[in-house]
Structure 1
Amino acid sequence: MLTRCPVKRLRVRLILCGLFVIYLAAYSSWSGNPFVNWIAVKLNPGDDAPYETLDLTEKNSSCWKIISGDPDAVENALLTTIANKYNGFTESDYLNMTRDCDSFVKTRKYITFPLSAKERDFPLAYSMVVNENIDMFERLLRGIYAPQNVYCVHVDRKSPKSFHSAVQAITSCFPNVYVVGKLESVTYASWSRVQADLNCMAELLQSTVPWRYLITVCGKDYPIKTNREIVNGLMAMNGSNIMDSVSPPEHKQRRWKFHHDVRETVVRTDRKKSPPPISTPMFVGSAYILVTREFVSILFVNPEIQEFFKWSEDTYSPDEHIWATLQRMPELPGSIPYTPRHHWGDAPVLTRAVKWTFYAGNIAKGALYPPCTGRNHHLICIYGSGDLHWIVKQKPLFANKFDPEVDNTAVQCMEEYVRHRAIHGTGR
């Protein structure tokens, strides 16, 4: 008789565990608790998901091994990428999934309530400029989504109708996500890229959400930090903007000496331009910015800024000098005065973790970072799985560029990394 007692106790434990699993699965069907939803996925992942959530604390987690820099795991991920064609969700898939928004939000595991009082009381605004790859757009939205924030999406007017429809369908499932009313036909390195963000900025200022900072992102960005970590980082800035702003090298100064025409690309003419109509020197930096609400508000009412915008409309890549220059104007909210140490070669990338091809290489021989393990495009790395170990150590809040068609494992593991930190805290 005594020999059977341990067996009976084991059966009871198994029955209780089974009942607990059923309870969690049932509870997750109506609860907005992301932790419960995450557990339910762990125990019973949906068949319709092209990728499932892993627990990165498990030693056998392939994503944790990749992020930790394990060479065998990285090599296996590379071989998997080569062997398997990327097969993500299509526009049609999203049109079908979003017919039932409640099901879509739950199935895609969006976080549906603020994860902390600090985040609740410090809402953010996002300007998202996208033009392709609906799957990556939705995964980015899910990665940065929080119900207290507000999201304005600009879709390139040239994008296919099916892409527009799918974006509209996804955004319609959220009260705080919408497509901007005025769309631009965006040409690379032209004013239209700036105007796309300005259109969103104007509408976000009308939002009832009392957002504190605006963050601009593109379709190939992905957060390195959680919403909580982003909020903490912005609160630590004490009202200062975050953007790259350094003295321009000679080849960029030449861009401002001639008018440019926008055709299929931006083309320089022989017509010389007048000097920029501003009282401060010109600076250059990134198109992507994190700026205060007060900074955004003044853009539309300050005459000098409006004249500067007008002057910049026919320059090459105005997004590289517009924000960087405004950042050094002492009278603007959140600006940071220029100091001589801000020169091009040593400028830290504040807004994005980016691997430029000309700075990558052998670190032992002076390179700033290891070579790209994904694919280089326009002198920038589209990340592969082997880059994740470097990415998660970087200080910026976002990384660029990710593309699941280049390396879906890299995107998937970043999703899991950020979600794990959001739910379990920074840990480790």
Structure 2
Amino acid sequence: MRNALAIDQMRSKIRYQLLDQAGAPRNFRLLWLFLFAVACFVAYFLLSSPSTNGVFNPLKPDARNPITYEQVMKDLRNEIDQRNVIINELQQDLEKMELKNDFKNLYRRRPETDHVDCGRILSGDKVYLESVSGKNRIKIVENDQLDMSCAAIMNRILPPGSNLKPLKNGVAFARIVYADYEMIEKQIQMSYHPQNSFCFAIDKKAPPQFHERLRVMAACLPNVLLLPDEESVDSAGHNINSAHYNCMRVLINKPGWNYVILLQNHDLITKSVYELEQVYEWLGGANDVEITPEAGRLDNKFKWDPKSLKMFRNATGIDEVILNGKMKFAKGAAQGSLSRAAVDWMVRTADLTTYIDQWNKGGFGVDEQFIQSFQVSSDLGMPGHFTDECLKQGKKADFVSRMSQWKYGDSDKCGSKTVRHAICLLGIEDFRTLAAYPNLMFNKMIPSFDYAIVECSAELLHNRTFLGQEDHKLEEDYYKNMINVLYHKNHLDPNFKLECTPSYTKWAARDYPL
């Protein structure tokens, strides 16, 4: 994190190393003044002492020594002056380079959070944490005069000099939004890469200014897509699935990504672009979807077999047992990670419009049976799918795409001591947890409640992306040994036996908050 003293010490160290042969200019002059005094003393001694026994005095002119003492000292002074000029020029160039690099790599804060030392919080300084939490909690002050020119937007998202390395595979982000534009823009900044793609579905009820700002941003950035058709979404989940599905339809035509992550307005990405790329490579094509038992919300007045749902665009060759059999169902978060192959299947092989419409006629939690049901219906053949075997055993498979803390009426167990709709609102008290956990996003963060957690998270990802900061190493064994990953890798092997209990401690069983 930013530390002026550390930067000054770094500058001093760099100068010392690069100018090691000559020293700093002031010390250099003192050294030569000392040598000059010694030379004068030696010269005086030799000139004032008589030459005896044929001893040759190099500073006393004679036939063998035509160079005078004055000429020697003049040449010496000229050489010193020339070296000093070169050293001064080198030092000036070095300082310019350092200032340029410092500015380029420095994360730029908002005025509200400029005083927050995220590094002290990350290191576990609980006394300091109290100064920016609780009654001292920092809320966003929205900028009604925000510069929305393309140059200003791009400067905020990717400042000049921010160099990004090429990705083997990008990531697509499908997000449903309705408020807090500046936080949404911050989310793009935190995950921005030219090879990544961003799709936004705006709630029809969102304020006009929010609509306009999203439209302007999408017009400025070629990898930001805005759905033209807007629907009204609500906390019961209505139109959430159709918005995500429409984003998939658009994103599948964008090259370069191999996973899509489904998000909502106040989800915050917690891994850098390079970390996301690595995690998805370790998942190896397996989808990451929360799987819990279906909660009795299924409306049986509708038919739920693939044929009645007109699920397959071309049903030729598909077993009649599958086409006429009732689907399997599960429940979970609307957020998740799907492989590109899964999205291609959902969009081009299948047509899920009727399925989504039937669920959308329900009363509550209608968005929680979408990707889950296709994930457990292995006979449908969605790439990266899982199975319902663990549900039958009463065991819950791990899920890392989203971290949320459900606390029903017990806010004291939340880091922020605050609950909304039975979920902990995340504050700056959760920063150390966010940095350490294996999850790809945290839910939920509301800037009008606590903006310091958003800003410190953004600075954390900035430092991981542009400064190579490695505060917490990615847990490779964790991702590779998730049950859904092992199933995806081995389920075609007739000798494979699914173990629904993982070999590691799931993140949900870890201490919270850290």
Structure-2-length-normalised TM-score: 0.65
| Alignment correspondent of 1:199 | 246
| Alignment correspondent of 1:277 | 305
| Alignment correspondent of 2:203 | 156
Q: Is the 8 A contact 2:157 2:192 kept in 1?
A: no
- SS of structure 1 residue aligned to 2:338: strand
Q: Is the 8 A contact 2:336 2:402 kept in 1?
A: no
Query: 5 Å matches for 1:126-275?
Result: 126-207=173-254, 209-248=255-294, 252-253=295-296, 255-257=297-299, 273-274=301-302
Question: Closer, same or farther in 2 for the Cα pair 1:8/1:420, shift >3 Å?
Answer: farther
Identical residues among aligned pairs (%)? 20
| Alignment correspondent of 2:148 | 98
Q: Is the 8 A contact 1:190 1:318 kept in 2?
A: yes
| Alignment correspondent of 1:115 | 164
Q: Is the 8 A contact 1:355 1:372 kept in 2?
A: no
2:124 maps to which of 59, 69, 72: 69
Distance 1:235 1:344 in 2: 29
Query: 5 Å matches for 1:22-33?
Result: 22-23=96-97
| Alignment correspondent of 1:89 | 143
Q: Is the 8 A contact 1:130 1:155 kept in 2?
A: yes
Question: Closer, same or farther in 2 for the Cα pair 1:341/1:324, shift >3 Å?
Answer: closer
| Alignment correspondent of 1:411 | 454
2:390 maps to which of 314, 337, 340: 340
Distance 2:194 2:408 in 1: 40
Question: Closer, same or farther in 2 for the Cα pair 1:201/1:112, shift >3 Å?
Answer: farther
Amino acid of the structure 2 residue aligned with 1:86: I
Question: Closer, same or farther in 2 for the Cα pair 1:376/1:132, shift >3 Å?
Answer: same
Displacement, 1:225? Answer: 1.0
Question: Closer, same or farther in 2 for the Cα pair 1:131/1:5, shift >3 Å?
Answer: closer
Amino acid of the structure 1 residue aligned with 2:261: I
Displacement, 1:113? Answer: 7.6
Q: Is the 8 A contact 1:300 1:306 kept in 2?
A: no
Structure-1-length-normalised TM-score: 0.76
Displacement, 1:130? Answer: 0.5
Q: Deviations over 1:6-53 (max 9, x none)?
A: 285899989856544544666xxxxxxxx77543x47xx69x86555x
Q: Is the 8 A contact 1:111 1:145 kept in 2?
A: no
Is 1:311–2:358 an aligned residue pair? yes
Displacement, 1:344? Answer: 7.2
Is 1:324–2:340 an aligned residue pair? no
Displacement, 1:104? Answer: 3.4
Amino acid of the structure 2 residue aligned with 1:220: H
Q: Deviations over 1:79-122 (max 9, x none)?
A: 6744x6531333x41xxx232x23432344458887334x2x20
Q: Is the 8 A contact 2:157 2:185 kept in 1?
A: no
Is 1:391–2:412 an aligned residue pair? no
Question: Closer, same or farther in 2 for the Cα pair 1:321/1:14, shift >3 Å?
Answer: farther
- SS of structure 2 residue aligned to 1:281: coil
2:407 maps to which of 338, 351, 357: 357
Displacement, 1:124? Answer: 1.6
Displacement, 1:127? Answer: 0.9
Question: Closer, same or farther in 2 for the Cα pair 1:389/1:14, shift >3 Å?
Answer: farther
Distance 1:244 1:111 in 2: 39
Q: Deviations over 1:370-392 (max 9, x none)?
A: 52316311111221111112222
Displacement, 1:5? Answer: 4.3
Q: Is the 8 A contact 2:104 2:162 kept in 1?
A: no
Amino acid of the structure 1 residue aligned with 2:305: P
Q: How many residues align?
A: 372
Displacement, 1:319? Answer: 1.7
Displacement, 1:67? Answer: 2.2
Q: Is the 8 A contact 1:171 1:177 kept in 2?
A: yes
Q: Structure 1: any 5+ residue segments left out of the alignment?
A: 27-34, 55-60, 258-271, 363-369
| Alignment correspondent of 1:265 | none
Question: Closer, same or farther in 2 for the Cα pair 1:390/1:141, shift >3 Å?
Answer: same
Displacement, 1:175? Answer: 1.2
Displacement, 1:274? Answer: 3.8
Q: Which segment is superposed worse, 347-356 or 303-312?
A: 303-312
| Alignment correspondent of 2:309 | none
Distance 1:74 1:220 in 2: 23
Question: Closer, same or farther in 2 for the Cα pair 1:414/1:68, shift >3 Å?
Answer: same
RMSD, aligned α-carbons: 3.3
Distance 1:287 1:14 in 2: 62
Question: Closer, same or farther in 2 for the Cα pair 1:126/1:70, shift >3 Å?
Answer: same
Distance 1:393 1:334 in 2: 27
Question: Closer, same or farther in 2 for the Cα pair 1:347/1:51, shift >3 Å?
Answer: same
Amino acid of the structure 2 residue aligned with 1:212: N
Amino acid of the structure 2 residue aligned with 1:328: V
Q: Is the 8 A contact 1:140 1:219 kept in 2?
A: no
